[in-house]
């Protein structure tokens, strides 16, 4: 399965949520039961900007529904200093890391927060 190419715009200081639904060629959602997910956002110098995963609770997998929900809380987006980066999102099935595949990849644009304390 080729990765979905999706560029993201994340507003600093606001919660960010996004849902992916990986679909098989038959039109049926991919069963993600037992899978884990991991996503990193990195700047141009390859420094880590943010990390989401099923381990840290910022990615939720919907099992047989096939959903992948990303969540970045407002306090996390407010603390980001960079203006842009790149990401990829990987899924690891219960069979282990040798079967990991890339669900999505793309660029991330951070939109500045105007209203601040």
User: For 40-79, how does the pLDDT look when each residue is reduced to its tens digit (9 = 90+)?
Assistant: 999 999 999 999 999 999 999 999 999 999 999 999 999 9
- Rounded Cα distance between 60 and 69, Å, is 5
Counted domains in the chain = 1
Residue 117 lies in a domain: no
Residue 69's φ and ψ, nearest 5 degrees, are -105, 125
pTM of this structure: 0.91
Residue 16 lies in a domain: yes
Torsion of CA 96, 98, 103, 105, to 10 degrees: 130
Do the Cβ atoms of 60 and 69 come closer than 8 Å?
yes
Report which secondary-structure segment, H or E, holds 77.
Answer: helix 74-79
Closest by CA to 52, choosing from 44, 62, 42, is 42
Closest by CA to 32, choosing from 106, 110, 88, 89, is 89
Residue 86 lies in a domain: yes
Q: Please, which residues bridge with residue 10 across strands?
A: 110
User: For 86-112, how does the pLDDT look when each residue is reduced to its tens digit (9 = 90+)?
Assistant: 999 999 999 999 999 999 999 999 999
Residue 84 lies in a domain: yes
Residue 88 lies in a domain: yes
Residue 44 lies in a domain: yes
Residue 70 structural domain: 4-111
The CATH number linked to 68 is 2.60.40.10
């Amino acid at each position: 399965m080729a990765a979905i190419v999706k560029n993201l715009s994340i507003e600093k200081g606001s919660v960010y949520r996004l849902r992916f639904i990986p679909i098989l060629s038959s039109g049926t959602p991919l069963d993600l039961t037992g899978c884990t997910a991991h996503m990193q956002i990195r700047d141009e110098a390859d420094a880590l900007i943010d990390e989401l995963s099923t381990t840290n609770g910022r990615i939720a997998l919907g099992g047989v529904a096939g959903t992948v929900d990303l969540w970045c809380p407002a306090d996390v987006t407010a603390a980001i200093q960079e203006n842009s980066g790149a990401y990829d999102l990987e899924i690891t099935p219960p069979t282990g890391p040798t079967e990991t595949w890339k669900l999505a990849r793309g660029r991330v644009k951070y939109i500045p927060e105007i209203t601040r304390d």
